């Protein structure tokens, strides 16, 4: 089993992620694992895969993202749900690779990097919430005193 832990997962800054989103850099996907707190805004182009769906969605997610260079997970603060989801994704990916479930997939990236967004969407929206080139569906009033 992987030696990666929640504490050793690589982090990505909101500034670096914003550069990637602005540049429409290919080969990376952002996974927002928030549940009902997804309302009020999200990073442009992210996929919402709520935590409560991970029991049955994780294998599908691993197969769908097999060709990506990087996958970025986040929740509101990226303290619990985001890191736990990233770790679960890594473990599922490792298990599927060992079982040969990814071996036949075209373009499987062996060196795929899995990140956690530092500060989650809460810190993201502080700088980029009102930037339509980086954030979709933003409702400022929901975030004014949220955290």
Domains and CATH numbers, the chain: 6-131 (3.40.250.10)
For 39, residues 6+ apart whose C-beta sits below 8 A from its C-beta are 137, 139, 142
For 81, residues 6+ apart whose C-beta sits below 8 A from its C-beta are 33, 34, 51, 75
For residue range 22-61, list pLDDT tens digits in order.
999 999 999 999 998 898 999 999 999 999 999 999 999 9
Q: Report d(CA 145, CA 100) in Å as an integer.
A: 48
Helix axes 14-22 and 120-128, enclosed angle (nearest 10): 60
pLDDT confidence of residue 130: 95
Q: Which of 17, 18, 58, 75 is catalytic?
A: 75
- Is 75 one of the catalytic residues? yes
For the chain, list residues with pLDDT below 50: 1, 104-107
Total-model pTM = 0.90
């Amino acid at each position: 089993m992987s030696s990666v832990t929640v504490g050793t997962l690589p982090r990505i800054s909101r500034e670096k992620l914003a550069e990637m989103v602005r540049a429409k850099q290919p080969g990376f996907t952002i996974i927002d694992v928030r549940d009902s707190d997804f309302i009020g805004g999200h990073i442009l182009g992210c996929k919402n895969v709520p935590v409560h769906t991970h029991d049955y969605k994780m294998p599908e997610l691993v197969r769908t993202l097999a060709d990506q260079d990087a996958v970025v997970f986040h929740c509101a603060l990226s303290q619990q749900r985001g890191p736990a989801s990233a770790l679960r994704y890594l473990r599922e990916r490792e298990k599927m690779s060992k079982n040969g479930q990814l071996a036949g997939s075209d373009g499987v990236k062996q060196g795929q990097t899995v990140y956690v967004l530092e500060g989650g969407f809460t810190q993201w929206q502080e700088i980029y919430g009102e930037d339509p080139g980086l954030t979709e569906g933003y409702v400022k009033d929901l975030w004014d005193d949220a955290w």
